[in-house]
Structure 1
């Protein structure tokens, strides 16, 4: 079962460093580094409250969609890793573009 470790503290899906969204999607079609990717599922907890118990299975997120064609782990738009890490370069992300998949590996 896949899991998403999340260092984006203000994401509404983050529950103690684990993502609890129904599924996430990583974007960055022509990414060459991890910082050219983003978690398009990010929602700022300040505006969307806490959504940490929003998964269909009642647990952490286990579906990782990937639209990053240049990622080594993308297989038909699904991530093949057992777990990934989502991070941000800023202390507080405001938009999903300020997040990135730290597990990205360029082909």
Structure 2
């Protein structure tokens, strides 16, 4: 399984549901639910085109920086999970704040 599955269909790092950014940053320092987190690395492909082929030449993303101090999976600002899921509550996200880490688990 890939490190980061992503259903934010219009993210320029998304290639067939897999993230191909060099690394992602999950934010939401005081989150209590997954909806209070976000993927700070989201880039709308309408503004940034499709970056999946020129961002990470070594395959899919496998580095998840995490500043969500309230998440049980945060181990020194790195996600300790083998894989996570990034999603959105809207059909087409316009801002990173419309994305979230659905793998978040509050301490």
Report if TM-score (shorter chain) is over 0.5: yes
Residue 2 of structure 1 and its aligned partner are, at CA, apart by 6.1
The aligned residue for residue 20 of structure 1 is 20
CA RMSD of superposed structures (Å): 1.2
Q: 1:48 is matched with which residue?
A: 48
1:58 CA drift (Å):
2.1
Structure 1 segments of 4+ aligned residues over 4 angstroms from their partners: none
CA distance, structure 2, for counterparts of residue 95 and residue 24 of structure 1: 15
CA contact (8 A) 1:2 1:81 kept: no
Q: How many residues align?
A: 106
Structure 1 contact 13–52 (Cα < 8 Å) conserved: yes
| Structure with greater strand share of residues | 1
TM superposition shift of 1:90: 0.3
TM-score (norm 1): 0.96
Partner residue, 1:72: 72
Residue in 2 aligned with 1:8? 8
Which structure 2 residue ranges, 5 or more long, are not aligned? none
Contact kept? 2:2, 2:18, Cα under 8 Å: no
Structure 1 portions without partners, runs of 5+: none
- Contact 2:66 2:79 survives alignment (8 Å): yes
Normalising by structure 2, we get a TM-score of: 0.96
